[in-house]
Chains A and B, each alone.
Chain A
Amino acid sequence: MGNANNEYLFLAYTIVWIVFMVYAWSLSRRQSRLTKELEEIKKRVLAKDEHSAPKV
C-alpha cells in the first residue's frame, strides 16, 4: 500500500499550507491597511492641534 492513496496525502499538505499562506497574507494586508489609516489619522489630529493652538 506504499504509493496508493498518495493523492490524499498530496491534497492534505497542499490545502493546509495554502490555507496558512493565504491567512498570513491576509493578516499582513489588514495590518498594513490599519497602519496606514493610523498614520493618516495621527497626521490629521496633529494638524488640527497645530491649527487650534493659541498663537502667541
Chain B
Amino acid sequence: MKKNSSMTVHSLLTLAWILISLYLAFIFAPNEANQGNVYRIMYIHVPCAWSALVGYTVIFAGSVGYLWKRSQFADDLAYAGAEVGFIFCCCLLITGPLWAKPVWGVWWVWDPRTTLTFVLWLLFVGYLLLRTFFVNPAQAALLSAVVGIIGFVDVPIDYMAIRWWRTQHPQPVIMGGPDSGLPPRMEIALFTSIGAFLCLFFYLLRQRLHMGTARRDLEQLRRGETATEF
C-alpha cells in the first residue's frame, strides 16, 4: 500500500507541476520579440532534452551497476531508463523541427547539436532492439550494458556541442556564459517546465521499473512452475 500511495502522491505532484508550467509558459512568460509565440515550444523542447539526457544517464548508471555487481535491479533500471528516455528523445526530435521550420525556414540541419541528438536517439533504439531481440535474457542484459556504457560518451558531447562549436542550433540559455540568459519571467517559466518534465520522467521511470520487476517475478514463477511439472 505504501508504494501505491507514494505513486499517487508523485502523480498528483507531477500533474500540478505540469499545470503550473503550462500557465507560466503561455500566460506568465512574455512574447519573444523576433519569434513571437512560436518560441514557447522552448518550454517543452528544452525539458525534453534534459529528460532524454537524464534517461541515457540512467541507462549508464544501471549498466555499470549490472556489469559491476550483476545486480538485477540495476539491469531493470537501465531498461526502464531506456524506454522512458526514448519517449522523451522522440518528443525532442519532434518539437525541434516544429520550432526550426518557422524560425530557420527548414525542418532540419545537420549541425553538431542536432546530429549528436539524432545519434542519441539511435543509441536508445539500438539499446531497446538488443533487449527485444536477444532471446537469452542474460546475453541481452550483458550486451545492452556494454552499449549503455559506451553510448554514454554521446551525452556530455551532445550537451557541450553548442558551447564547443558554432552551430545553427541556438547558443545555451542556461549556464551559457556572460552574454547568455533569458529575461527573468522566461527563465522562471523554463526552469519550472524543466522541473515538471523531470518529475514526469521519474514518475514514468518508477512505473516502468515496477513493471520490469513484476515481469521478472513472473518469469521466475513460470520457470518454477515448469520445473515442478517435470
Contact = CB atoms under 8 A, between A and B. Distances in A.
B198 to A, nearest CB: 13
Interface residues of B, number: 35
B207 A3 contact: no
11 contacts: A1-B38, A3-B37, A5-B38, A12-B95, A13-B41, A13-B44, A15-B98, A27-B204, A38-B217, A38-B218, A48-B228
A5 B224 CA distance: 59
Contacts of B210: 31
A12 B221 contact: no
Given A9-B40, A38-B218, A38-B221, A16 B94 contact: yes
Contacts, number: 92
What DSSP secondary structure best describes chain B's contact surface? helix
A16 B196 CA distance: 14
A14 B40 CA distance: 13
A54 to B, nearest CB: 16
Interface of A: 1-6, 8-9, 11-13, 15-16, 19-20, 23-24, 27-28, 30-31, 34-35, 37-38, 41-42, 44-45, 48
B111 to A, nearest CB: 20
A45 B37 contact: no
Contact of B48 (A4, A5, A16): A16
Interface in B49-101: 87, 90-91, 94-95, 98-99, 101
A37 B87 CA distance: 26
Contacts of B222: 41
A10 to B, nearest CB: 10
The winner among A8, A16, A24, A48 for most chain B CB atoms within 10 A is: A16
A2 B221 contact: no
Interface stretch (B28-36, B116-124, B133-141, B143-151): B28-36
A49 B172 CA distance: 63
A16 B41 CA distance: 11
Interface in B1-59: 31, 34-38, 40-41, 44-45, 48
Contacts of B207: 24, 27-28, 31
Given A2-B37, A16-B48, A38-B218, A31 B225 contact: no
A1 B37 CA distance: 8
Contacts of A30: 211
A41 B225 contact: yes
Given A15-B94, A19-B91, A41 B44 contact: no
A2 to B, nearest CB: 5
A52 to B, nearest CB: 8
Contact of B36 (A3, A28, A31): A3
A8 B41 contact: yes
